[in-house]
Amino acid sequence: MSGSVCVKKKVVLIHPMGECWVAGEKDVSRIANIMPPLGLCSLAAWVEQHGHQAFIHDCYAHPGDYEKIYDLVRTEQPDFVGFTATTSAFLDGIRIMEKVKAIAPNTTIMCGGAHISALRESLMRDYPVIDYGVVGEGENTLLFLLDQDLQGSEAPRSFDQHGLLYRREGEVVFTGFVPRDEVLDLDTLPYPAYEKLAGFPDAYNLPIFNYPKGPGTTIVSSRGCPYTCSYCDRTVFKSSFRYNSPAYMLKMMLHLKERYGIRHINFYDDLFTLHKKRVVGFCNLMIERKTGVTFNCAVRAEHIDLDLLKLMKKAGCWMISLGIETGDPELLKLHRSNSNLDMIRDKVKLIKQAGIRTKGLFIMGLPGETEESIDRTFDYALELPLDDLNLAKFTPFPGAPSYEGVREHGSFNEDWELMNCVNFVFIPNALTKERMEVRYKEFYYRHYERFHILFDYFTMLWRSPNSWYRLLLNFKDFWQVRTSFVKAVRDSAEADCSR
């Protein structure tokens, strides 16, 4: 990392929209869930702690407000404009970058996030509007760039900062991944700068029916995952796992409660319970302080037991999301580390025994998927005592193990703007896109049309009243989606009977 700051720099950080929904369908994704761009909030807090000035514009929370970005650039004349981009949001980011360059040609454009971390040099070569790329964790690399005297896209000299993509004499140079001994202790980082987000917390919504009381927000209290599942891109954090201490977690939660009135936290960690001791410590602090704040988290079945779950419940855990992916054992072995459907079934029952709501996370369309494997997933999912579920459409992201060689197992439409887990861009050899769309809708229909699930949502009138308010406020849109799903299932059933 560079030394002391000599000149205060201005940086505008942008989260592109990157929204591309299924053609002909009603998009309720933004109604159901709008999450703060925590990476940008963390970077903004970090650079301001080191003497620079940061602004954030979140296109996803404020769609259609692109002119506000350009007005901000004209008004503030920032030294840097930085973008974070997933695969589906990348091209939207490029369009904004080109407009920014036209308005302020001397502004340095930076890009970080999973997409550039995965494709690195090739992406820099194909999109010359990007002056510098930030690979992996961005704090030190971004601060290094802000501390330099840079003009234009050609670097004035060689850099020894890891995690950096730049151009020198017409060639793209990558300085290598940040070694483990240079990564930051997460407890030394300032709290994310939520205050930089326009309209926070009201402009953001947790997943509907996934919390008891609002307002709520998201926290990331760890980075990385040691597992190597085929569908996950690990190019940003690799296989490391680092985490905040229980004391830091509690203080950040209390900060959000006191400053913004936050009443529920969604921990967006990949593996919240991987380090059991820290979860026990955090829960004990929550119980001791009687915070009145509830929380959700995501876990792997291997890292929970009944005693831990009971403690989490007592500390305010309201819902646990559990990665299941598929109910076909052979397909699971191909794609998930440590696959065991019997163990997962047992752990779901333990979560329910502890009195915590349970959400199952599934994927449809993995390489090797067939009609039979979809049937097995349906049967498995519907026998589990799940309160909620989420079914993602498999997407071979650059950087995920499945990306290389995926075309051997089916057809792949590598249209980045469609690669967002809500479009079928990969079609396994044994299936068609039309059939997968029908089975996808059937999965949701069969889960949500059951009496005990409908009754459970009725009880949310007093258990999660804000969710019901949001549902009623957007009832027409949700009903349109339900009608589409019902029609698809009935048409499929009629077609099957006529064969």
C-alpha–C-alpha distance, residues 206 and 216, integer Å: 6
Residues 6+ apart with CB under 8 A from 404: none
C-alpha–C-alpha distance, residues 79 and 68, integer Å: 17
What's the farthest any 2 CA atoms get from each other in the chain?
76
What pTM value is reported for the model? 0.93
257-282 core/surface letters (b: 16 or more CB in 10 A; e: else): eeebebbbbbbbbbbbbbeeebbbbb
C-alpha–C-alpha distance, residues 343 and 437, integer Å: 30
Higher pLDDT, 225 or 27: 225
Q: Hey, what's the torsion of the CAs at 329, 357, 282, 214, to 10 degrees?
A: 130
pLDDT for residue 107 is more than 70: yes
C-alpha–C-alpha distance, residues 207 and 33, integer Å: 5
Residues 6+ apart with CB under 8 A from 296: 206, 210, 211, 264, 265, 266, 267, 317, 318, 319, 320, 321
pLDDT for residue 3 is more than 60: no
Q: Do domains 10-182 and 206-498 have the same CATH topology?
A: no
Q: At residue 358, what is the residue type?
A: T
Would you state the pLDDT for residue 22? 64
Backbone angles phi, psi at 256, to 5 degrees: -65, -35
| C-beta of residue 308 within 8 angstroms of C-beta of residue 350 | no
Q: How confident is the model at residue 363 (pLDDT cuts 50, 70, 90)?
A: very high
Nearest to 176 by CA among 162, 166, 159, 165: 162
Q: Of 166-180, 365-379, 475-489, which has the strongest mean pLDDT?
A: 365-379
Average pLDDT over residues 301-328: 97
Per DSSP bridges, beta strands 410-412 and 164-168 are unpaired
Right CATH number for 10-182 from 3.40.50.620, 1.10.2020.10, 3.40.50.11890, 3.40.50.280? Answer: 3.40.50.280
C-alpha–C-alpha distance, residues 308 and 351, integer Å: 10
Q: Residue 57 has what DSSP assignment?
A: E
- Residue-wise pLDDT tens digits, 47-82: 999 999 999 999 999 988 899 999 999 999 999 999
Would you state the pLDDT for residue 228? 85
Would you state the pLDDT for residue 495? 63
Write down the domain spans for the chain.
10-182, 206-498
C-alpha pair distances (Å), 211 with each of 33, 265, 267, 392, 412: 12, 8, 12, 21, 36
Per DSSP bridges, beta strands 222-223 and 164-168 are unpaired
User: For 206-498, which CATH class?
Assistant: alpha beta
- Residue-wise pLDDT tens digits, 113-170: 999 999 999 999 999 999 999 999 999 999 999 998 776 666 767 788 999 999 988 8
Would you state the pLDDT for residue 2? 46
Q: At residue 2, what is the residue type?
A: S
How confident is the prediction for the chain on average, in pLDDT?
A: 91
C-alpha–C-alpha distance, residues 93 and 117, integer Å: 15
Query: Is 453 in a helix, a strand, or coil?
Result: helix
pLDDT for residue 4 is more than 90: no
Q: Which of 79-88, 144-153, 286-295, 442-451 has the least mean pLDDT?
A: 144-153
Q: Is the dihedral of CA 238, 227, 332, 449 positive or negative?
A: negative
Query: Is 300 in a helix, a strand, or coil?
Result: coil
- Residue-wise pLDDT tens digits, 173-193: 999 988 877 889 999 999 999
- Residue-wise pLDDT tens digits, 392-430: 999 999 999 999 999 999 999 999 999 999 999 999 999
Would you state the pLDDT for residue 496? 66
